[in-house]
Amino acid sequence: MVTVLDAKGTPHGMTASSFTSVSLDPPLVLVCVDHRATVLEYFRRASHLGINVLNEDQRELSVLFARRGQNRFIGIEWHAGQTGVPLIPRVLAHFECGQHKMVDAGDHAILIAEVLHAEHREGRPLVYFGSDYHRLDGHSRS
């Protein structure tokens, strides 16, 4: 899940099906955002973003943040990270990133961000593959 604050300090976010390492020096990652996503305007204006790696018990959050046309943070617990970005509790990892570059490519914007702070904990990740949620042991979670 990728998160950002707007100019008024309101949190916004979206489920991303993946994010990718780009570079180790400096530590860069990327995530792609559909041009039709309303949250894209907040990412375009923000200096920082958060990446929250969900654990296998956070499927409901993934589904909620994948929906269109609603305030996804209503009733959702979060706290501000060191850079102010919204971070979700009990995730496997979160990365606080500074915007590095944004590139429009086809129907998506590629957000390239520099990792400034990162934290992790033990657990199993939420896996989405083949239009369904799965466990790492290969069983479907539907």
Per-residue pLDDT tens digits for 85-134? 999 999 999 999 999 999 999 999 999 999 999 999 999 999 888 888 88
Class for the domain spanning 2-134: mainly beta
pLDDT for 41 equals 95
The domains of the chain are located at: 2-134
Report which secondary-structure segment, H or E, holds 56: none
pLDDT of 139 > 60? The answer is no
pLDDT for 136 equals 78
Stretch 4-16: mean pLDDT:
95
pTM, two decimals, is 0.90
Give backbone dihedrals phi and psi of 141, rounded to 5 degrees, phi first: -105, 10
Write down the H helix ranges in 48-106.
59-66
Q: Are 45 and 104 in contact (CB under 8 A)?
A: no
Share of the chain above pLDDT 70, in %: 96
pLDDT for 140 equals 58
pLDDT for 73 equals 92
Q: Are 97 and 116 in contact (CB under 8 A)?
A: yes
pLDDT for 76 equals 94
Place of tokens 């429009």: 104
Give backbone dihedrals phi and psi of 124, rounded to 5 degrees, phi first: -115, 135
The pair of structure tokens assigned to 78 is 């979060």
pLDDT for 67 equals 87
Confidence class of residue 25 from pLDDT cuts 50, 70 and 90? very high
Q: Are 43 and 111 in contact (CB under 8 A)?
A: yes
